[in-house]
A and B are shown apart, each in its own frame.
Chain A
Amino acid sequence: MTAAAGLGDPVSIGAHSAPSRLLFGPHETNLGTGRALSDRHVAYYARRAAGGAGVIVVETASVTSNDWPYERAPLASDCGPGWRAVADACAPYGTVVLAGLGHAGGQGSSAYSQEVMWAPSAVADVVSREMPAILDEKGISAIVAAFGAAAVVATRAGLPGVEIDAGAWSLLRQFQSGLTNQRGDRYGEDRLLLTRQVIDAVRRAVGSTGVVALRLSCDELAPWAGVTPELAEPMVAELAPLVDLLTVVRAGPFSTGAYRPDGHTPAGFNRDLCRQMRAAGGGRAPVALQGSVVAPDMADAALAAGDCDLVEMTRALIADADLLTHVRAGRPERVRPCILCNQTCRVRDPRNPIVSCVVDPDSGYETRSPSVSSAASVAPASDAIGSVATASGAAGSVSTASGAVRPGRPVLVVGGGPAGLECARVLAEGGRTVHLVERSARLGGTLAAAAVGSGRDNLRSAVDWLAAETQRLGVDVQLTAAADAGAVTTRLAEGWDVVLATGSAAMTDRWPHAGLPIFDPLTVLADPSVLPTGVIAVADPVGDGVAVNLAEWLATAHQREVVLICPDQVAGTQLARTGDLADANGRLQRAGVTRRLRTLIRAIDTDGIRVEDCWTGAPDLLPAAAVVDCGHRLPDEGLYLDITAGGGRVRRIGDCVAPRTLLEAILEGRRAAADLLGSPAPAGAVVAGMAGAGPSGARR
């Protein structure tokens, strides 16, 4: 444990050696089959092991069958074969794979088990509002034994050890905290007793050479009765000697969202806490830093500063499984950045979405869609292509010199938003000569436009990466270059492939309007000074991050008086998925934004905005100087229609098919490229948006 070690250096975890200090932490994936791990889990973890993860903690498994916190929550007694398969798949890379073991206590759910939840005291969880039953000594002993039994299953499956969960959703933390432990018995007097008993039982199961890791909440962000950093110091001092790895996290019953928050929380937010806890542990166990660490340089800085001995970079590894491969090769700039958006990697949601990533939609789909990007991007062959491309001239050049040495037909990509950029990137990586035309003066489309304001600026890094990669790969990019149907038809006639990624357009007639100016949010984000003085009404019929962030930004960064109008009972309903819903509403209120909830806009005229209550129909008139319409956009499909009217056959991708999110843009960009490269079409690839696509392309 030398402080100067880097992310790519090995580290001892108990009697085992991890090949790097990069930790892929436990998280919900919904990849399971029933409560067992699936082949999708195996491929998911193996991809991260291959990419250099030093330690992987598999999705936390419940140690008892009546603990069933979400539908696909693994159950330890069902996980033996899956753990073995993960161990086998990761073995070639030397990764230390640990079974995550947990019990959600009163933060679970009775919906799947149809049984009561058990907790230290009669304190209902604030999210479910469901009262748990109080564990007695017999019940506690059974849970301790269940942790031990689960560790036996893990050990027999060939894993070196386990991680015990005392983090965001855990019975052990509930026992540790004054918020949830109001017991008068020995488990109340000694709140760490259960944790020590569980560590002891697990230690006996894995043996002296086995690994016992602990994920410990050291700040519940509820100082009136919860665990604080000050209270956590003696806890860490007591527990560190008992474990082989300690991951410092923060979260409590009121703040589960603070555990893996989106970009509104600064990256690396736990560094001070982790340093404090590492000192408290006195070097008795290596300590892992957790908490929105996504950049390799921050990880190295934290290691160098002595904040930690390992760094958990779970979301960064979801965004780029090969992160460490790039770092070790001395090209960290090629790491596809996590933008901390939480849009698709956060899957504790009743719909059971599969874990994935907006910038790498193959994540979570490793068995379904052969990756067309990550593996190739680190292979020497692609470097060769890169060097050819570099020799052919810089991006922005109209030169097509590289085309001569490349196989396949040249491709024209129309539109330099994320869909077009991703398509161009993958095609160039696959050896095609790619020409990309973008009508505006910059790349990135609506993604670049949206990268404004607190918590949203991270979006910029996705644009920058796509632009840099397309440049590196020799894509010929022309800005302020329009493509009309005639030009495209000419290219088609010359045998080129053409992909349209022309994006979206604002809807202009959403409401009857006269008098008040109505702005496109893209215009306002680019230059808020276009807004007149007076109250700005931000209309949000969608409920995603766009309007909420715009309203907050106008109120805080530009001191505007803002009213946000939405049809729902809270603002930003779709932010439930990212974990930002409650925080976003809190930020809006603190910023002084007036939320007009449950409100429909009926008409806009010189007197203001005529609205109605969604359910009662009660009318009102809201005075405002201008409206920013954050409603759904329409596909910009004029070019597509012109070309197809002339009999041309082109692919279209992203928002010009239907305006959606970054995920769909990247996914369809990738699919179109894979299709043109002739590689096996990814699962689900009904040729997105293609006219007359036959059922033969249907998902199987």
Chain B
Amino acid sequence: MSGGSRYRHLFTPLQLGSLTLRNRIVFSAHLTNYATQDGRPSEQHAAYYAARAAGGAGLIITEEHSTHPTDWPYEKLIHGFHPEVVPGYRRITEAVHAHDVPILAQINHNGGQASSMYTRLPVWAPSPVPDPLFREVPKAVEPGEIAEIVAGYALVADHCMQGGFDGIELQCSHSSIVRGFLSPATNLRNDAYGGSLANRARLLLEIVAAVRQAIGPQPVLGVRLCGDELIENGSTIDDAVEVARMVEAAGQVDYINTSIGVATATLYMIEASMQIPPGYAMFIPSAIREAVSLPVVGVGRFKDPLQADRALAAGQCDLVGVVRGQIADPDFAAKARAGQATEIRTCLSCNQECVGRMGLNRWLGCIENPRTGRESTPAPIQVGRRRHVVVVGGGPAGLQASVTAAERGHRVTLVERQARLGGQIPLAAGVPSRAELLDITRNLVAAVGRHDIDVRLSTEATSELISGLAPDAVVVATGARPIRPWWAGSAEDFPTVVDVRDVLDGRVHPEGRVVVFDELGFHQATSVADLLADRGCAVEVITSGMVVGQDLGITLDMETWNVRAHAKGVTQSTDVVPMSVSGTESGIVLGLQHHPTGTDRAIPCDWVVVAGHQAADDALYRELQGCGVAAPIHRIGDCLAPRRAHSAIIEGHRVAAAL
């Protein structure tokens, strides 16, 4: 057990109330959107949690279950207050217990952090303070309604006990009516539930008592607190420590979980992307742990078991929440324990298909794990007859196709024309603020190495070469190439109008005044703007859309991008369409039209960097049509249609699973 020696704390057991956890790794609560249309837990829930239990997690805490009909902020919330949820609960708990892992249910009422869209009922909150995201004025709850809220928690806790859960966690942290009462920003009451911290914590303590009474003395009860709301007049760490003391003094709670931020105001600090340093929130469990003797859970971008072990060694926490790390690799814990940490499919903290899909009401996925969200469907089977699969192109699509095919038992030859694997990923990750994106190919390349795949670098695939390999199947994943926009003139006439890829691969080195055109609304334009501003360029990013880098909003990179842009003097212009480029003695002039008003604008500059759509590089695929290769020929990833990395991974996996 090399893992046991490598990690001195991570795999030591911990007593949590009546439960003995086998290690310190918690799959803590997070939304999945796996609930059925009518708010019931699904088979997918069970399979999803079971996969992490099988993968060695020490404790699993489910996503929240709503405690009252007034609480329905997003469509696929589990309606815990319906007794009909119990059979679904049983499916989940049985699936997880089969792996001898305990599982708690998180129960919650989101309070004012909601809208009436689904309930058609007034939103309930301590005071009529509209939420910054939902922007609906809530109804200030009356005394009878407070009693109803407390009763709702007890009711749902009872359902959870019937459903076989080992305990309950109360989410009082980032999206909760309890947080709403705790926070001076949202609690303006002047009755017994407002004013002093003791008054603001009254609802929490009433709920703790009611839930403990509902579940009895044995099951575990935890409370998740927010250590800093990061909002104006919000709760801060001193409040959280004091509330933790009150919770401990109540004598009915077994552990404290922590978080940072408010989900509807400062979500980018809750589910931090790669822009935020790992371990950024550990000041919270550290402070609480000093004040109470209950075990404390710390969270915040734990990607690596060693990092988690160090947090435990430093006494920052007793348990470590690893959510995205286990979304990306359900076997995170088992691999670490077995001394195979290098085999962990490390989370990128890209937020693209997990957090990003949540905000759009879609089921939870993962950019690099095509099985996430699909655990309840059959996994690819091992092949009876080993075939020779030739994959052309070593970007994410080709790599994933190679790995999945090899995992199924096929013989794989991977042909890549460049001297390295990874396709466009290493370029994109070459920008310092996007460095962790490289994990996607690092993980895949490591998997290629483990599977005895015949990799031929610096090799141009031709139909002759492929015929010579005598494949049983060919997968073409030859990627995409930049397109010169119609308004950009020719490269000969305007050599300083270039593509993002030209900058990132070092073919050109823009200096002076640079305009970056964002046609894609993702990281391409903002990354290169970041990079060039760091190199001393005066950068303006323009877009025909209403917002530069629009989709940075869904990955929670919008705030940090704008803060960086401001600090570096990067300016932004929206609603403009490039129309022309012309030369002057001192550089070039980019002609724009502001489409809402039809007014023209000319920007004198030295360079224009285009973050634009690419063209599918499908020449080989076309060449292979009718060239005499008898094997079926598949086309995946950008050479089918240039898109984002998750499409490449999905298609690589899918094509190989079907071979």
Contacts and interface: CB of A to CB of B under 8 A. Distances in A.
A698 interface: yes
- Interface of A, secondary structure class, is loop
A650 B13 CA distance: 58
Nearest to B356: A111
A582 interface: yes
B519 interface: yes
A116 B74 contact: no
B596 interface: yes
Interface in B611-633: 613-616
A585 interface: yes
Interface string A114-151: 10110000101000011111100000000000000000
B546 A570 contact: yes
Contacts of A110: 643, 647
B525 to A, nearest CB: 12
Contacts of B55: none
B119 interface: yes
A699 B152 CA distance: 13
A530 interface: no
Most buried by A among B69, B122, B138, B641: B641
A485 B562 CA distance: 53
Interface residues of B, number: 60
B546 A351 contact: no
A81 B463 CA distance: 49
A126 B643 CA distance: 14
Given A116-B647, A122-B641, A129-B520, A632 B121 contact: no
Contacts of A71: 361-362
Nearest to B124: A658
Contact of B615 (A122, A581, A660, A698): A122
Contact of B122 (A541, A567, A590, A657): A657
Interface in B528-558: 546-547, 558
Contact of A688 (B122, B135, B651): B122
Contacts of B238: none
B642 interface: yes
A585 B148 contact: no
Interface stretch (B14-22, B139-147, B501-509): B139-147
Contacts of B354: none
A654 B496 CA distance: 60
Nearest to A119: B641
Contact of B641 (A132, A574, A695): A132
Contacts of B470: none
Given A361-B120, A688-B122, A695 B547 contact: no
A567 B132 CA distance: 10
Interface in A65-117: 71, 110-112, 114, 116-117
B400 interface: no
Contacts of A585: 546, 575, 596
Contacts of B563: 615-616
A618 interface: yes
A658 B546 contact: no
Interface string B55-73: 0000000000000111000
A633 interface: yes
Contact of A658 (B122, B143, B357, B650): B122
Nearest to B119: A684
A542 interface: yes
Contacts of A570: 546-547
Given A352-B75, A698-B81, A116 B546 contact: no
Contact of B137 (A112, A114, A350, A659): A659
B123 A658 contact: yes
A693 B122 contact: no
Given A664-B116, A689-B122, A111 B145 contact: no
A692 B37 CA distance: 30
Nearest to A613: B566
B144 A693 contact: yes
Given A570-B546, A695-B152, A131 B361 contact: no
20 contacts: A122-B616, A131-B642, A134-B641, A543-B135, A567-B132, A569-B546, A581-B546, A585-B596, A586-B596, A613-B566, A615-B559, A615-B563, A616-B562, A616-B563, A632-B128, A657-B139, A658-B136, A659-B128, A684-B69, A698-B81
Given A351-B117, A589-B575, A667-B120, 15 more contacts: A33-B37, A114-B650, A116-B641, A134-B616, A351-B361, A541-B135, A569-B558, A585-B546, A618-B566, A635-B139, A658-B138, A664-B116, A684-B121, A698-B69, A699-B69
